[in-house]
Structure formats: C-alpha cells, structure tokens
Structure 1
Amino acid sequence: MDEMQLLRDFAGPAGLPAREDLARQRAELLAATAAARPRRRVLWGGVTAAGLAAAVAAVAVVAVLAPADEAVGPAPVPDAVRILHTAAAKARALPDVTPRPDQFVYTKTRLADGRENETWASVDGTHDGLAFLFGHETEVAGCRNGKRVQKESHGRTVTSRCVPHPAAPADLPADADAMLAYLHRSTYGEGDTRHDLGTEVVELAGGHLPPAVRAALYEAVAKVPGLVARTDAKDATGRPVLGITWNSTTEHGIGNQDEFLFDPVTFAYLGSGTGTVVSQGIVDAVRQRP
C-alpha cells in the first residue's frame, strides 16, 4: 500500500463543502476578525511605543559615539598617501645610526640593462668621494673652504666656488610641515637650474637620513597635491614595486614627473625610477663596501 492510499484511508473522502456551509464559515471568520482587532491595536501600540523609545535611545548613543561625517563610513584615503605614511612608520622604527663626518655613504644602484653604479659620497661634503657611473670612474672632489678642486682629464684641475654637499645632512627637520617648508625653500644641489621639489626629495631620499627625518620626508611628500600610486610599477630590474608619481615645475617653469619607488614588503626606498638601490651603508673610506 502506498502513502497516498494511507492518507485516503485516514482522512476519508475529500468532497467539496456545500454552498451554505461556505457562507456560514465566511461569516464566522469575519466576526472573529472584527472581535480581535481592538486587542491587536492595543498590543501594537504598546510594542511600538516601547520599541520607539529603545530606538531613540540607540540613535542617541550612536550620535554621541559616531561623528556625523562617519555616518556613511570613513572618507577614502588615497593609496599614494597611505603608502607614504606606511613607509614613514617603517622608517621611524629603524635604528638610528649617526655617521662620523669623515665617513662615506656607499650606494649601489642597478640599471635596467644589468649594469651597476656605485658611489662613495662624503658624509659632511668636504672629503673627496668616488663614483663608478656607467663604466667610468670619477673622483668627486669635496668642498673645502668654499672651493672645490675637481680633477679633469690629462691632469687638469678646475677650481670652483662651492658649498658643502653632505650625503648625510645635519639638522634637518623631523616634522612633516617643517620638512615641506624646507624642501620649498632649499637650493639643494648648489643652485642647480633644474631645482624643483622633486629634485630636492630625490636628493635627500638617496642619502643617509636619521629615521625621524626620513619619516618626515615621506610625510611631507604625502602633502604634495596630485600624487598618483602605481601598484603595478616595476623597478629597473623588473621586480614589482610600489610607485609614487607626481608632476612638479622647476623654478624656470619646466615641468617634470617625479617618482618614488618603495619595496612592497619592507617599504624601503628603492630609488627614483632610473635605477634601483640594491645596497647602501656607511663606510670608512672610498672603495670600501659595507
């Protein structure tokens, strides 16, 4: 015996009710509904009042705890600013190493064609440094007593007026606003006609900076308008990096596009796009490597 037969045996025949039975049942249903309405209205009013009081209290608490501008969620933060602030936090956590004035900042950069450049820059700018650039060795004369004596080919020397160009500048601001003001007024590079904010930033970032100063530099750049984050950027060797670009104008009205590159994991500064920094450190003499 199947299930349907069991149901038929249990319920009996399922005929339609008579017309007069339908009319009677409809009248009973309407009467019962009318009788129930007052009780439902009273119950609904009580529940609504209690619920409304609770809802008003909850809204009041939310209004106190959440500022009005957060009612629709926090304002989006530009990716470039977030990257720079993360790099600043990472830099600020690094140990502070203070080099001696007679030491050198060694930097090795790798180019897209596989060649490597090396520089030994004087910490205080007064000692003679050295550079291996594009396969050529060049002595970089220090600035002493306002003069630089640069050796040229065939034993010639050229003497010029100068100010020291330290690879580890002292007394730089460790505050973002003060750093930005410094970048705008500085003539880093001894009055180079190509001077602009980007040149200032790249020159400083490529040298040795105390952690707090480097953090302030990144935070100052974060205040520059027009920043663009390039999460798909690659360095000169083809490795994925984080890129920050912005357009700037020199004091002579020439437009430049500047770029910062950061390691996507450590957020260490990797260069400005033309070459990737692969090694940097403090050494005691030229030709010495860390």
Structure 2
Amino acid sequence: MIPTPWRRPEAPDPAELARLLPAPGDPVMPRDRHHQLEEFLMKQIQQQTVPAPAPAAPRRRVLLIGVPVTALAVAAGITFALTGTGSDSPGKPASVAAPVVAAPVAAPVVQLEPGSTVQLASTTKRIADATARRATPQPSQDQYVYVKTKVSHLSTKVSTDTNASRTWVEPLHTREVWMSPDGLKGWLDEPGYQPEGGITLDRDEPGDSYYKVKALPTDPDTLLKRIYARTNSESDRDQQAFTLIGDVLREQLVPARTAAALYQAAAKIPGVVVVEHSQDAAGRDGVALARLDARTGVRTEWIFDRHTYTYLGSRGVQVNAVDNVKPGTVVDRTAVLERAVVDHKKQRPTSPDAA
C-alpha cells in the first residue's frame, strides 16, 4: 500500500544481487514490481502453469539502485500493515504485451537543507492534532480504497559490454491502486509501467490491509513498540521502524487517530528531524519529518502541507555520496493526488476525499 514505493538500499553483496537483480535482458522496472512478479512466477511454477511470454530482451542490463523502501521490508521478511501493492502477486498471467517504459530523464538535484530536532516536538504535535481532527471515510467490505499518486524513482544502467554505468530517473507518472479493506482484492494501473489496462492484485490469503491498519493501537508508545516488534537485527532497527511507518502512509487509507499516532510514534524514533522545506512529486512545498539512512546515504522526507498539515507525499534525497550518486540528487518522489473510497474496482472517485 503505503512503494513501494518509496528506494535505495545499501550496495548489496553478490548473493543479494543474484536474488534481487533482474536477469540480463529483463525490462526496466522498480524492485517492488520485480519482487511482485517473482512471487507470481514462483506460484505459477508450483501450480505447473505456463507464465506469459517474456517481452523482447533489451541490450542492456539494468541495476536498480533506487528501490522503494517497501522492497527493503519485503526482502528482509518484514511486514507491518503495508499497502498491499509491494507484496501482492498478480492473479493470472497477462495475455497482453509488456508496456513500453518511458525513456529515463536526468535526475533532479536540489540544495540540501539541514534537518533539526529543535521544532520536532511542536511540528509533530501540530501535524498529529490536525490529523486527528480530520474526517476520513470508512470503507465497507464491498468497497475499495482508492489511492492515486504521482511517482518517480531512480535507477542506474550498467552496460554489459563496457561495465560503464549511468544514473537516471523515471519520468513522473501516474499510479492508481484499488484495494479491498481486507486486502484480498485489488487492481493496479500504472500506464507505461504495467500492461495496458493494469494488473490484478487479488490474492488468496488476507494480506496487510485497511482492517489491519484500523486495528493498530492509537497510543503512540504502544504503537511504537508494535512497530519495533516487526524489525530485525539484520540492519538499523530505527531505520526499519521509520520505513515501516512510511510504507503505511504511501498507499493506504489510515483512520485519523491511527495516522496521528503514527506521526507521534515516528517522532520518537532516534534520528528523526524536521526539514522546513521539501517538495513532493507534484511540486507542492511543505514541511517534512525526515530521517537519514546511514547505510544508503538517502534522507527520506514525509512532506506535509504547512498550513493544513495534510500528508502530501514523500521525497528521497541523497545526502552522502554513495555509488557515484552525488549529494542533493532526488532519488525518489511521490505525491498523493487523491485518496478515497469507491464502490467498485477500477472506479475513480467523482470528488476526491483526501485522508
């Protein structure tokens, strides 16, 4: 739900690369979608069914160094009320050709603004108070949570002939997700990055869902303990906790009191700061709660409208140079354009109902 979304782990070891990298000749795609298709293909193999034909192989291998944070959680075996799009697998093989991915564009570079803890408590309180007062729709079992976002993520192309690399980002594009409250049914439409018309996110077993998010405790301290219980010792547990909360925000409908508790819990995580100016994928300026991942050198920023304190989207900015990505490079951008409850899968709301 809330991707994967966002996208850049630390440089993996050879075993990790063998597991996560697309095979030579695979089409360019973010790791969350690669992982999604990988799960799907494994299910098809187990069921002795034949997957859809692979598209024509391109001439370059693609090394994705900018993956959504959701993919990190999935790779580590961590789940915590995620959006449903990072770990769900498509229901049936697509019979249509794979989409033609839009040509990559130059990565934007911004001036780095330092974060501070001076206004952390007061800013978080304003965000939480405004969120708790905001009315949010409550979907019934036969309805769908609809989230429309604008997204862009970083990738690096590596030539198999010369071993030379070049860093690019996806063009900003629209992504629409429909998920049932129980997480069993869904649809993803991402023109240019999914087959025409979209793909199913239906699954046989209940996944992370609106109902799971709704059931989370609304006391910040209790909630934070629940979050840390889902982390492991394989990497920075504080960063994992921050990532897990961010995943919920990305593509999910969160009840007002729960959302307020999530923001208050996040402020208690060591390393979280306030960045006074950040900009989402739609170009909207806001104040951000942020944390620097020491392993990847990327600071993830959750952006809020500075007047209404509505969650706008997220941004990942390279702070420390890693893998030849220079400081100030924007490696990940999202913007929530609409968030609502609709009656049918693939139905779009007539009037946006922001959460």
| TM-score of Structure 1 vs Structure 2, range by shorter chain | 0.5 to 0.7
Alignment match of 2:202 (pick from 123, 142, 145):
142
* Counterpart for residue 289 of structure 2: 244
Distance 1:257 1:268, change over 3 A: same
**Corresponding residue number in structure 2 for 1:221:** 266
What is the CA deviation profile of residues 187-232 of structure 1, one whole-angstrom value per residue up to 9, with x for unaligned ones?
A: 7xxxxxxx92233111212311111111100110111122222112
Distance 1:133 1:216 in 2: 34
1:114 shift after superposition: 4.7
Question: Counterpart in 2 of 1:101?
Answer: 141
Runs of 4+ in 1 over 3 A off after TM superposition: 111-114, 253-257
The more displaced of 111-120 and 211-220 is 111-120
Match of 1:79 among 113, 119, 122: 119
Residues 228 and 212 of structure 1: is their aligned pair in 2 closer, same or farther, counting only changes over 3 Å? same
Look up the equivalent residue of 1:84 and give its one-letter code.
T
- What amino acid is the match of 1:142? D
Alignment gaps of 5+ in structure 2: 1-115, 153-170, 232-238, 316-332, 350-355
Partner of 1:259: 301
- TM-aligned CA deviation for residue 105 of structure 1: 1.4
- Within 5 Å, give how 1:12-161 maps onto structure 2: 78-111=118-151, 113-132=171-190, 134-137=192-195, 138-144=198-204, 146=205
Of 98-107 and 206-215, more deviation after overlay is shown by 98-107
Are 1:85 and 1:222, in contact at CA under 8 Å, matched by a contact in 2?
no
The alpha carbon displacement at 1:277 in A equals 0.7
1:280 maps to 339
Distance 1:266 1:89 in 2: 10
Instruction: Letter of the 1:81 partner, please give it.
Output: A
> Which of 202, 225, 237 pairs up with 2:246?
202
Q: Indicate how the Cα distance of structure 1 residues 184 and 134 shifts in structure 2: closer, same or farther if over 3 A, else same.
A: farther
Q: CA deviation at 1:256?
A: 5.6
The alpha carbon displacement at 1:243 in A equals 1.6
Is the alpha carbon distance of 1:255 and 1:121 closer, same or farther for their aligned partners in structure 2, counting shifts above 3 Å?
farther
Q: For residue 129 of structure 1, what is the amino acid of its counterpart?
A: W
Instruction: Indicate how the Cα distance of structure 1 residues 122 and 134 shifts in structure 2: closer, same or farther if over 3 A, else same.
Output: farther
Does the CA contact (< 8 Å) of 2:242 and 2:266 recur in 1? no
Rate the CA distance shift 1:98–1:239 in 2: closer, same or farther, 3 A. Answer: closer
What's the secondary structure of 1:231's corresponding residue? strand
- Find the aligned partners of 2:189 and 2:276 in 1 and give their Cα distance: 32
**For residue 95 of structure 1, what is the amino acid of its counterpart?**
A
- 1:151 aligned partner: none
Contact 1:104 1:129 in 2 (8 A): no
* Cα distance in 2 between the residues matched to 1:261 and 1:99: 25
Deviation at 1:106, TM superposition (A): 1.0
TM-score, normalised by the number of residues in structure 2: 0.48
Secondary structure in structure 1 of the residue aligned to 2:131? helix
| 1:144-175 deviation line (CA, Å, top 9, x unaligned) | 2x3xxxxxxxxxxxxxxxx5121452311111
Aligned length: 188
Structure 2 vs 1, CA of residues 234 and 130 (structure 1 numbering), >3 Å: closer, same or farther?
closer
- Percent of counterpart pairs with the same letter? 27
The more displaced of 211-220 and 167-176 is 167-176
The offset of 1:110, in angstroms, is 2.1
TM-score (norm 1): 0.58
Q: 1:143 to 1:114 in 2, by over 3 A?
A: closer
Report the 3-state secondary structure (helix = DSSP H, G, I; strand = E; otherwise coil) of the residue aligned with 1:232.
strand
Give 1:81 shift: 2.8
The answer (yes or no) to whether the contact 1:196–1:248 under 8 Å persists in 2 is no
Deviation at 1:281, TM superposition (A): 0.4
Q: Whose helix proportion is higher, 1 or 2?
A: 1
What is the Cα deviation at residue 88 of structure 1? 0.6
RCO (CA 8 Å, sep 6+): is it higher in 1 or 2?
Answer: 2
Deviation, 1:248, is 4.5
Q: Distance in 1 between matches of 2:142 and 2:243?
A: 26
Find the aligned partners of 1:103 and 1:255 in 2 and give their Cα distance: 40
Structure number, greater radius of gyration:
1
Is the 1:102–1:124 Cα contact (8 Å) retained in structure 2? no
Distance 2:259 2:192 in 1: 28
Contact 2:276/2:288 (<8 A) preserved: yes
CA contact (8 A) 1:110 1:117 kept: yes
Cα distance between partner residues in 1 of 2:278 and 2:186: 36
Unmatched segments (≥5 aa) in structure 1: 1-75, 147-162, 188-194
- Of stretches 210-219 and 99-108 in structure 1, the one that deviates more from structure 2 is 99-108
In 1: Cα distance, 2:185 partner to 2:136 partner: 23
**AA matched with 2:177:** T
Could you tell me whether the CA contact under 8 Å between 1:172 and 1:213 is conserved in 2? yes
